[in-house]
Chain A
């Protein structure tokens, strides 16, 4: 069962976006990997996704001349960074260690505010918004260290996020949690398992399930495949791609993995800090 959406996306992205050599490379490699993957996701919807994406490439999140320093007056990690994230795409933020990938994710998730410049969400400055509400409803964050509550069970962790979002759901929250576990391909009996009893990969999937559970429009993930074996990694990437291409979400991944970067629609390369310093 090959992933039917990929060909469509591949052809689409180079066409619509600024042409990048990396991208074309990506798509080629992706194609092969995806077809090799034994796991099959949604099939036969590629055409509809094409049209969706063409309609909905709206900028949802943007960096506007963002500079950031950990301490006031300290050394800046970013200098006048600008970038636009659109709905319906999978973005990969790459770069060497210490380039500030995770910090960038923190900025995007509203955990911290830029020292200079703005993070724009739908055109509005995130710094002046209710960032708790933004975090609980608009974005789903998959942290590098998962940030699941170890004393809670799998479904309790998911339900906690559902509760925190304050959204209304048609289904009982327990059922949504079960659905989400199914979606990340965790067996149902994991529902009542404590997080501590799960392996790293399993925890990562729970973190993903939690981030997706309340259906945010933006998914941020920090090394989402870092703890996973190749097969699972592809599984997860499939999920992200489905989210972006089928459900028109904006998926932003921070990754080391060239593989993940290749599977993404766009790559946002952060330069190493010292290079930028030299340039400045």
Chain B
């Protein structure tokens, strides 16, 4: 009580100095408020972000691991041979595709709720009455086109596919580095899959809606069913239908060559669709016409089974049918649990569980994380400088009031009490400053944080753009052979020539199983709801207390060291 009373009186008495301290504390507190609010908002977004939305996960082969494994095996086998044993490596790689039952086994091994869907895709060849959409006649050798001819190739293919692909170029001008369907599990570039059509079988509506060519709408007819009753039904793109002058109900025949044995399948068109979202798979020089989204034929998995070209068929290796199996998990956390469960269920090291959703989401958080870590640095600096200033002020304060300490102790006030009084005084002033600072900081937090974030986003974007301009050298993009077509390096030379403008935007490095997610230009989180809530205020009060204690520590040490006699003797 005595201490409080004296402290209060002393605060009132030394208005000038205390106002100065309060202002300094207010500035520190305002800066800290903004910083804390940003960090809070950022961590909220990170924590909440994917916790309530479903995420998809895929299991894919870790090829580099496989290759290194195979290499070490082969080198131990035949050390004399300097040439890598390509044969055995290929064998190794192809062996390790998981089968449908494997995938389902892992789904069952999950301790968290998981739903699954899958699609299988393969290629079909054209017949005389059913031709793929393309511009040049020499479709069959398009995949072998060299890089020198590629620019003309892509030019032509662009011109017709631009209807669907041009809308995807978010930063189209300079970004022209095309990417071949990246990474493993991307599906369509499996050996022998470069036919005229891409036939994709879906297991469910969910699978359809996650089609790798993006979403579509039906323009005519209806979609196939998934049971055996609707076997043989397909849907084709509007462009393909128009190209071949087909309509719903028509039957088309397609061919497939398996081990030199050509089979012909008859399929019924049950519907015609039109792609709505961007199609990312580039109709590049290497893919063949089956890579053109317009040449995608959709059907059910059951149809594929009936035709005997599904991934479980005996000759699956020869049909080149690829299985895309996707797990749907309730949340980000579930995904992590699932990844662990799968490992414990016996998934070997050569496979990785990945989630395009999570990765895409995480890359969308990049600017925010940058901001968050920048804020932390800023916060620490502000607090550090603040603490130093307060310590110095407090030091001068105590030295200035040395006489007071002397008198107080001489009349019998115990040193701890005197020290406590000084601390309480500083605390009162600090809290007042803190209050003012929080109000000011709260007002500034919103605009300041969004300003900072937008500058982070734009710097992130320009960094990405410059990476693209340098053919992604600083990113780990799988360089597609055809990517040299572009004059994209800058607009210095002919802008008129070829493909560049409409090529789909290239992603940053994460090439994974789902081109759909990876090849989109990342949409960054660009606004933060940096409001000051009770958590922030609580943290600030703690900071205020800590600052007060730290800075008054010096004062306390001084007070405790003072001997009244000495002070009074000096004085007189």
Contacts and interface: CB of A to CB of B under 8 A. Distances in A.
Given A136-B411, A141-B410, A147-B410, A156 B9 contact: yes
B409 interface: yes
B198 to A, nearest CB: 89
Interface string B393-415: 00000000001101111111111
B571 A111 contact: no
A111 B9 contact: no
B407 A149 contact: yes
Nearest to B404: A149
A132 B568 contact: no
A111 B568 CA distance: 10
Nearest to B409: A132
A144 B414 CA distance: 22
A141 B403 CA distance: 16
Interface in B3-19: 5-6, 9, 13-14
B412 A111 contact: no
Contacts of B411: 135-136, 141, 147, 160-161, 164, 210
Given A111-B564, A143-B568, A135 B412 contact: yes
Contacts of A166: 2
B572 interface: yes
A143 B407 CA distance: 10
A165 interface: yes
B388 interface: no
A8 to B, nearest CB: 34
B17 to A, nearest CB: 12
A156 B10 CA distance: 11
B572 A145 contact: yes
A135 B2 CA distance: 17
A136 B412 contact: yes
B412 A144 contact: no
Contacts of B9: 156
A132 B412 CA distance: 4
A112 B568 CA distance: 12
B13 to A, nearest CB: 6
A148 interface: yes
Interface residues of A, number: 27
Contacts of A135: 410-412
Given A112-B565, A163-B2, A147 B406 contact: yes
A144 B572 contact: yes
A151 B13 contact: yes
A132 B413 contact: yes
A132 B13 contact: no
B410 A111 contact: yes
B570 to A, nearest CB: 11
Between B406, B412, B414, the greatest number of chain A beta carbons within 10 A of the residue's beta carbon is seen for: B412
A133 interface: yes
Interface string A147-171: 1110110001000110111100000
A250 B6 CA distance: 31
Given A111-B565, A151-B13, A164-B412, A145 B6 contact: no
A188 B415 CA distance: 33
Interface of B: 2, 5-6, 9, 13-14, 403-404, 406-415, 563-565, 568, 571-572
Interface of A: 106, 109, 111-112, 132-137, 141, 143-145, 147-149, 151-152, 156, 160-161, 163-166, 210
Given A132-B414, A210-B411, 5 more contacts: A134-B412, A136-B412, A143-B572, A160-B411, A163-B6
